[in-house]
Structure 1
């Protein structure tokens, strides 16, 4: 471990140990240390796992709960220390004079200014925030960690004196004490608007300030003297949100919730724009003597004074002979009025606001104040262009069967509450568009799309809801299952016959969007077969778009965990099928991923630069040609891998009794008690009878808790073995790994998933189900997959070529083991004894849920 990281881990761990001893006595700290040292010794094969199980079984449940809390808090602090180390290393690497790999400066240098400028014209990066319940931490815990983060940064500031450092250490201790005393588990279920407000924290604390920094980096890469000339970079990032709009399987998301979600978003972005305009306006003290206002700006000020004499007169008194300052303060007042619905001053649209900002910018530039014109004022213009008055486009999602049922009821003349809600949702979209514009809410995602009729149904419902006043709708099909992915081009051809689609294509430059679901396809087919099916769907859709003169954007419904399409986003982009990117990348950002990527400005900016760089590279003819050539060469071998892999996966997951066994060996039933989100954890009631009853998130989450991580790797070993058994098969697989980004990405992601698997502890979970056949099948596939992945990659150990990630896993593994042993104690009792006294069952459930929370923090994965 690097010295700086080791120092931070020791500092925070030592302060936590002091807090634990103060709260529970030295004996509690001693028990925590006993378990910590024991799991490390077990990793070194110095003691057996049975000895640890016996130690854990000795403690009263109340003591086990406190120990679980201790390890959970430790993980929060260890994650924080690693984040600080990443930021420190980014800054160190950025002092060498050369642009960082995968940065905007690096990609411009690699591709050349002219080529990048051409690509930037059509560039669009569209992250969509979702409330899929994968953030196990309470908001109170997240904010406590953020406060600790601020104090740790201050503590490590080399400019601090001894007394300042001592005070900062005291504040660190105070905040860690508060973290220890804060409940780790939610006691009330989140409602959708709670989820909206949680996402707003990422905007308030990071996104609003970070986005113009990314544009500035692009502008500086494209040409010298950024900040003293008109920008060469255009704003290419647009955020979307499903939070408060996604009602598929979530009855808590209503038309009123959707309306309120947009109002909350608007409140936050208008406050941010007002504050930024005020800050810039107050600092813009350029005098008319040296920086005269343009005739256009003078005329605008005169018109403002005519309309609002007292207001403008007061500003002139406070800022005499500072016309630019007066104007921006007036603009800030108008933004405040927009938020407060003051009709005489409010802006009717963000375009009006932007026009006023550009008026000031043009005046400053004409007067020679180019740094003021193209510096912070340009940042504000970029922010307004990116976020508008709505912050993020709110997208609506609903299941196709809900629409079909609604139309059937309308035809019969008697509608249910659910159908009334569908119509109310469309009316709400219309209201949002009237108030905030079409860009605020027009996309309507139809999950489980099987035919063009499923898309036409939305337009028909819109006519029933609002007649001729129906809102502008871009209806997006979502293809998830293997069969649906294969049928996607035929569905799109049918969509071209729908009048509503034809009308939208006529006004939007023949642009169409299709969503691909990674989670359910992986749950159905297994990771290897799903990866190839998705790739084939991308190829087919790209060819269809070229044939029909349609500019197609593929919307990737990826989760954070590897079993749901997760993994490094930039590598995922470069692994896409040729022609399927075309300078456009839209992807979901879910749960814990939102705070992992956007919790700190430096990390968020690095993430966006890496993804942008990958999108630009993936859109170049040279990269597309190389990828196409590799795909053609290795398609047959990949097909054999996928076929054998899917067969092995289905032989397990579709076996009689498998869903019941899975419920016994994992904390699946208990995960719903964590109250992770407003969405129900499963379809229907009772124990799952098949995988179809399970949502993808708890499926992946529960397997991660068992230390098996089955959704991320199962079946691949059998798939690889089918090729290895052929003559020259191993060499062909090694060549595919070297030359085809898709295959390399698949194996690298599986390697990460295997690295987070612990065979010995996993076997203890698997034994709880009483099915030795299932347990042996899972462990045999794990051994086969691990062996063949290492042989193909040429690595002697997992993550051998991923030093940073390997260190992170090795740092956490022993402590995750500690929580797994505590969880196993609770889970085994809960599974073995159905007639436990209620108070004991409650105590065991608390221990189980605390350990689930802690393991999620340790693995940095939920669903």
Structure 2
């Protein structure tokens, strides 16, 4: 669902825009539904009744059930297209009626307030200099659409936009409708489900699809929007914009629990990332050369550029040929030399060999330099608009994407790195028969520090290391080689999951040293690749400030962070902290950790920046972008922001050009706004009274949540009353559902934990414990407590965000559907015990949330959200019932052949419920 629809509108114009968008969304969805039904009736008329409830699906064969579910899944995707189109129409309407300044989430909106509040140009300039924003695309198993299907949905979106144009005759309109129907029919015949479990290679190519379709083009355009907004609101001021917005990726570099990612796979991913960017630049420069058919007779060529061109032609080795092909056209000639070098660079990036002395680009900076030379020449020749409108966007693209498209993060967990370090200890000379020192002991720390201080030699017997340790060190060696060769920005950082101590961080530095990632030959001074600890559970978040205080006092880490840009990045996990302590406790502990870590960085003289490990669902931090950033603690961002973009979020945000441009601007503008305003805003100022209340609420909420998840019958209930085990069969990700293959709840990844609770419509991860916490607070504090909660609802941005998101989650919970899932639990005592706990807490939570918000019905404050649910939930509920029936039949059969017949239908049901709810995990 459109994230904007969850935010209430304000003001007459916004209400008018919402009304207009609602009408257009309904019209569009009606058109798409009718065309889908036309396709369904043509190919499978017997399943049309699933949309009006007239079909008796229990009589369907597995194959027929699969076709019904496919039709329902296609409907949800078409509905999402209609919603995205409506959101674009709403924004355009507001911009036409009130100006771009009035469109929330835009640079103009932010800078209007900044100029009005008297924020000086110098403050803006200083912030822009340090602004760094990086959404990071991950391959978590929460997205199922194949690239070929994404392309067809993209075509439908474009055709729907064409249909809105009023100039068409009825004949032309009918032709467009026929085109849309054909695309829907092709989706129907293609199938959305992966026939085989996707490899990491498939995931890499799927991630790059969004760059080819929208991001290569629209990211530079987003930078131009900021440039235009600055010129408009601070006229006469010059602002130098760095390439502050760059994409990261974990796809192909994330080893944590994924045995399919190794050095070979990472190397392949790096080549694909590089080739994608180089292909795009080639297309842009070919197009540029076609346009710049400027003759020197019409436009005098600056003398400096003549010398540049002469040198480029000489170095190309084909100067006479190039000049003869485009006589008197200096800019085309120069761009031809650029293309020659770019083609050679692509050969090198792909692993090919170049002829000795063959011109190529050693790095992206050289290509940027050439494009700047062209810009300057055109400007000096009195054509500044051509330079700005045609050449500058290409140069901006190279600055943003360089020769790597994304900054690939490497990730592994501390269990694996520790095993590799213990193997290194054994390989060190003179250890004899003894065992490595105990982890956490003084002896272990002493060994780590000694090895980090020891100059690199050839004494290490690396050939004796286990394969896992060898490959982990090879990963760092590969990063060192690529950074020195093709692109220094090919890698982002090394993420250390499950960081529990300073020793874990030092161990990562030692492995990086062994791989040759230190800048000095001896390997004792500075690590070139940032080492980023990830704190995931609530206990880890609480320990993080002490760990980082100690880490930032270590000279090696201080030297490295200073060289890397003067700050230390810390990643914080939303998913595991939620799984660990529930929704309120997770949000509060994350806020506290950021506040404390920010102070740690200030005292240490090394600022700490945060990498937010968010998911698509509310349970995993997936609140609306603008509101989520606005609720971060004051001073915790300061223009530096990294965030994961996971699963279905990627295709929702970046599949279409207009949406992708807005989503990038929304993210960047929200970060800019927080950096400018957060330390001035009352709603983010620390309040001892509010903080004390949040501490009490978080504690009580966690206690209630823990009472459920530690109940001895919970695992039995969860495994039977949800498709948890069946999710592992779903071919939507290369990663296993469990880190180490264990079967306990503790080792279950947070994504399938959230995923399965959403599928069965319990969704406990987004609300359980909130009612008990609020009730307990009111019982203890009475009328004063009720008054305080009212003040917090109005004055605390974090508390308001929590209540709003809980209330919207409650609208997705359906106890009737949940009861049907519970009937899959064969043990009546287990079934009734756990279901009764959930039923009781749900009623209490709904009562308490409405008491705090002053509402009269759940989600009544969010009319657009409710309107979207009203369209989606009837079909979603039907799919849920179909899934319950499929689970029962799938689990009951012992025949492998029969189970295989049901498998496709079951997997489609899981995909379709996820599409209906708008988020999978």
User: The TM-score by the shorter chain falls in which range?
Assistant: over 0.9
Name the counterpart of 1:495: 551
| Structure 1 residues 347 and 395, CA gap change in structure 2 (3 angstroms) | same
1:587 partnered with 2:643: yes
Dislocated runs of 4+, deviation >4 Å: 224-232, 621-625
Shift of 1:228: 13
| Secondary structure at 2:572 match in 1 | strand
Counterparts of 2:235 and 2:207, CA distance in 1: 31
1:571 partnered with 2:627: yes
| Secondary structure at 1:560 match in 2 | coil
Counterparts of 2:698 and 2:749, CA distance in 1: 23
Name the counterpart of 2:865: 805
Matches within 5 A, 1:363-402: 363-402=377-416
Name the counterpart of 1:841: 899
Q: 746, 754, 762: which one pairs with 1:692?
A: 746
Counterparts of 1:169 and 1:34, CA distance in 2: 24
Residue deviations 1:800-848, cap 9 Å, x none?
33333222111100010110111111123345x3x54333333333322
Name the counterpart of 1:324: 331
Shift of 1:608: 2.0
| Kept after mapping to 2: 8 A contact 1:397/1:447 | yes
Structure 1 stretch 165-174 or stretch 314-323: which is displaced more? 314-323
Q: 106, 128, 131: which one pairs with 1:103?
A: 106
Shift of 1:464: 3.1
| Secondary structure at 2:478 match in 1 | helix
Structure 2: 5+ residue stretches without partners: 1-18, 349-353, 428-463
1:28 partnered with 2:47: yes
Counterparts of 2:213 and 2:146, CA distance in 1: 17
Name the counterpart of 1:272: 280
| Kept after mapping to 1: 8 A contact 2:125/2:239 | no
| Kept after mapping to 2: 8 A contact 1:128/1:589 | yes
Counterparts of 2:256 and 2:778, CA distance in 1: 42
| Kept after mapping to 2: 8 A contact 1:480/1:518 | yes
1:850 partnered with 2:908: yes
Paired residue total: 839
Name the counterpart of 1:43: none
| Kept after mapping to 1: 8 A contact 2:315/2:359 | no
Counterparts of 2:158 and 2:667, CA distance in 1: 27
Shift of 1:667: 0.3
Matches within 5 A, 1:402-801: 402-413=416-427, 414-441=464-491, 443-466=493-516, 468=521, 472-620=528-676, 623-629=679-685, 631-685=687-741, 688-689=743-744, 691-725=745-779, 726-727=781-782, 728-769=784-825, 770=827, 771=830, 772-801=832-861
1:202 partnered with 2:210: yes
| Secondary structure at 1:443 match in 2 | strand
Counterparts of 2:25 and 2:814, CA distance in 1: 25
Q: 194, 198, 209: which one pairs with 1:190?
A: 198
Counterparts of 1:292 and 1:427, CA distance in 2: 50
| Secondary structure at 2:729 match in 1 | helix
Structure 1 stretch 233-242 or stretch 60-69: which is displaced more? 60-69
| Secondary structure at 1:659 match in 2 | helix
Counterparts of 1:537 and 1:59, CA distance in 2: 52
| Kept after mapping to 2: 8 A contact 1:572/1:745 | yes
Name the counterpart of 1:9: 29
| Structure 1 residues 174 and 329, CA gap change in structure 2 (3 angstroms) | same
Counterparts of 2:233 and 2:785, CA distance in 1: 55
Q: 335, 339, 342: which one pairs with 1:335?
A: 342
| Structure 1 residues 7 and 510, CA gap change in structure 2 (3 angstroms) | closer
Counterparts of 1:116 and 1:502, CA distance in 2: 28
| Structure 1 residues 97 and 373, CA gap change in structure 2 (3 angstroms) | farther
Counterparts of 1:195 and 1:176, CA distance in 2: 24
Name the counterpart of 2:254: 246
| Kept after mapping to 2: 8 A contact 1:496/1:502 | yes
Q: 139, 142, 148: which one pairs with 2:150?
A: 142
Name the counterpart of 1:47: none
Shift of 1:562: 1.0
Shift of 1:354: 0.9
TM-score, with normalisation over the residues of structure 1?
0.93
After superposition, the CA RMSD in angstroms is: 2.2
Counterparts of 1:442 and 1:673, CA distance in 2: 32
| Secondary structure at 2:96 match in 1 | coil
Q: 808, 827, 839: which one pairs with 2:887?
A: 827
Shift of 1:220: 0.8
| Secondary structure at 1:780 match in 2 | helix
| Structure 1 residues 287 and 802, CA gap change in structure 2 (3 angstroms) | farther
| Kept after mapping to 2: 8 A contact 1:291/1:364 | no
Counterparts of 2:237 and 2:264, CA distance in 1: 46
| Kept after mapping to 2: 8 A contact 1:188/1:675 | yes
TM-score, with normalisation over the residues of structure 2?
0.88
Shift of 1:405: 0.9
| Kept after mapping to 2: 8 A contact 1:718/1:781 | yes
Shift of 1:201: 0.5
Residue deviations 1:530-571, cap 9 Å, x none?
110010000000101111111221111111111111111211
Name the counterpart of 2:245: 237
